[in-house]
Structures are given as C-alpha cells and as structure tokens.
Amino acid sequence: MHSYLIVEDSPMVQKIIQHVVQQENLDNVYFADSMATGLALYERHKDTLLACIIDRNLPDAPDGEMVSAMLSHGVPTIVLTGSAGEELRQQLLSMGVADYVLKENRFSYQYAVRTLKRLTRNRSIKALVVDDSSTARQAVSQYLALYQFQVVEAASADEGLHQLGKHDDIKLVIIDYNMPGKNGIQFVQQVRHDFDKRPLAIIGLSGQTEHQLSVRFIKTGANDYLQKPFAQEEFICRVTNTVDALEQMIELDQRATRDYLTHLYNRRYFMEEGELLVDKCRRSQTPLTLALLDIDYFKQINDEYGHEAGDRVLIQLAEYLTSVFERFTLARIGGEEFAIIFSGLDECRTLALLDQFRSYLANQIFMVTEDEYIRVTFSAGVTQQTDLDSLDRVMARADKALYAAKDAGRDMVMTDTIEDSSI
C-alpha cells in the first residue's frame, strides 16, 4: 500500500487540496497542519510513504525545517510556498526538492497533487540518458532521479542502442546531438527503425544554436527537443509532458487492442498479430499451432447465477490462462471463447500443455458470489499450421476440432488429426 503526506497550516488551502485529492482519486493521503503532527504521521507511515507536499512556512517550522526533515529521510518532496524569487528558487533546488509550487490559484494545488501521482508512476519507468559528456549525463540523470525515474546511462549512440536492446522496459530516452560516431539524429533514426513497435518517448538535446536542429529531431522521430543550457524546471516539465503523452498513447492502444473485461488481447489484435505470426512461421519453417478454448456450459452459469457471475468466471479464467500461457499470443475472441497461438510448438507439445492446464483447472475454484463457488471446465480444438495455411484456414480447422470436442462430451482437447486427447 502506498501513502502520501501533505503538511499545510492554512485551513482554506488544506480544504482545497483535500478536494483536489478526491478529484484525482488519490488514496491514503494524510494531512497535517504543523511540523510536529507531520513528523508523527511520518513515523507512523514511513514504511509506505512515497512522497509528500510540504508548506515551506509552518507555525513551528517557519524557515523550511519540515522540508529539510523530509529530504533527510529521503522522501521526494514538493514544496508549497507563497514567496517568489530567484534566491528562494535556487535555495529549494539546491536542497534537492522534486519541485516547488507557488500558492497562486487552484491550478497550483492541482499541479502539486498531480505531481505526487507522477512521482509514483515514475518509479516504474526506466529512462536512458545518452551523452558522451559525463558531466552533462550525470546532471540529466540527477534531474530524472529526483523525479523518481530509474536511470540507465550510455556514453555513445552505439552503447545507447545496446542498452535499449538489453532493457526492453526503457520508456524514455534523452539523447544529446553532438557525439562521436552516430550523432543524436542518426541515433533517433535507428531507434525508430530497430524498435518501431516499442512505446518509446525520445527527447533530443543540443548546445548548438543551429536553427533547424529542433525540426530535424522532431521530423526524425523525437517527441521533443531542448536547447542547452536549460533550467531544471523546464527540463522536468518537458519530460513530464512527454511521458504523459506516451502513457495516453499506450492507454489508447490498449483500449483498441485489449478486451475491456479480461484485459487479454481482443479479437482485432489477435487477427492482426496472428496473421503476422502465421506468415513468419511459414517463411522460417517454424512450427505453429493454434488452440480455441470454450468454457463448458457457460450459459448455465449466467442463467443460474447471473451475468455478473459469468463475468467473474471469465476474469478468473483469463488470469489462470495468463499465468500459464503468458509467453504465447493469448486473446479473448468472443463471449466465452479464447484463442492461443503457440509459435514454435508442434501439435504434440501443444496438446500436452493444454491437457496439463485442463488438469490444473479442475482443481481450481471459481467464485461466482461472495460465498459461492463452482468448478469450471473447458473444451478445446487444436490444429497445426501447414505450408499453405492462412490464419483463417488454421482457425477454421481449430474451430472444427473444438466443436468435435463439445459433441464428444466436453471437458476435453481434440485436434483435426487426433480424435480425443483428454486424459
């Protein structure tokens, strides 16, 4: 469980922030109006505390003592302040605060709360910094670390490409233009070619004043561009906007390719990806099998327990399927029907896997209400791709085998070449 601490002595400001917290659906937020109360809450929740918002001027901490206390404990800290000025700005940044927010209007408090959420999400995001200058590279890495990103560094474009291949969970790349070997734009070109299917945000940097450099970066495939030198706040705002946009794109893509209920891939994605896999396996002479699974007597579950119970069964089965077949292409393609493409497996190995899963499922319980459970079985049809097969032909044969399994009594796996492979 994650928790957050907000320390603000103004009742009016605290009320506004509480309202924003509710709007942003942020849970486990603890409020205090003094340093003493804030430190007590910290001691109580320090094992789960992810970040905090601290008013710089509190009745018992008028000179930022609470900010210093939280930073000394290693808690990412956003500072609220009613004062503006370069000296204060430099002081806060040199202390190592994640950000500071002027108490100007409702949007200011909205920004602070959303930054809390951003800091939390950044903990699971890996960023790559590519720059041949160790000083510049470390400065950018430090900014990213303050905002809770996991940081990987590379001193050249080639090393950066190697790191991208090594870490498939990198989502953000900061790349300098001037480097020996490949420059930043050449790096972006190769990344967009080699990792074209990976959701990846790229920000280009340069100390040059060439007018068209930003345009060249963007047209090559970068998401944004920053001219050196830049302020820490500008860098962080650009990074945040870029990562926000990437997450929105990923979410839209998931809505288009994922089933709304089970979060498995949907039929549309399965058909598109399946055609590519069939073609790839045919050209490389790699075996491929396809299985269609159907929950036995699913209509009876809906009729007896209701459609909400049926949804629960579908969700639970999807979880079981994912736990066993996650490395394969798995989708919900219809009401109670699921499909799996086993790239690299022949029919014999696929049958063995599905029968093992059938035996495993027989020992699982499916909760249909808070205090009622049932057992669930499935029927499956399996077929192996031939040299001339399209995805439609493979699915048609698997579908024929599935109906044969149902006609034969259900709770079994059949193929178009083997009549009954149930154990």
Structural domains of the chain in order of their starting residue, each with its CATH number: 3-120 (3.40.50.2300), 124-254 (3.40.50.2300), 267-415 (3.30.70.270)
CB 74 within 8 A of CB 49: no
Cα–Cα distance measured from residue 126 to residue 133, given in angstroms and rounded to the nearest whole number: 21
Q: Which of 410, 398, 403, 409 is nearest to 351 (CA)?
A: 398
385 burial type by CB count under 10 A (0-12 exposed, 13-18 middle, 19+ buried): buried
Tell me the pTM. Answer: 0.74
Place of tokens 């393609």: 333
Distances (CA, A) of 310 to 90, 262, 295, 315, 322: 59, 12, 11, 9, 18
CB 130 within 8 A of CB 176: yes
User: What is the CA 332 to chain-centroid distance, rounded?
Assistant: 21
pLDDT at res. 422:
45
Between residues 84 and 217, the one the model is more confident about: 217
Is the pLDDT confidence value at 7 over 50? Answer: yes
Confidence of residue 418 (pLDDT cuts 50, 70, 90): very low
Average pLDDT of every residue of the chain: 92
Q: Where is 87: in which H helix or E strand?
A: helix 86-95
What average pLDDT does this structure show over 2-28? 95
Locate the DSSP E strands across 188-336.
Answer: 201-206, 224-227, 288-295, 329-332
CB 137 within 8 A of CB 180: no
What average pLDDT does this structure show over 276-305? 93
Instruction: Work out the percent of the chain whose per-residue pLDDT is above 70.
Output: 98
Confidence of residue 322 (pLDDT cuts 50, 70, 90): very high
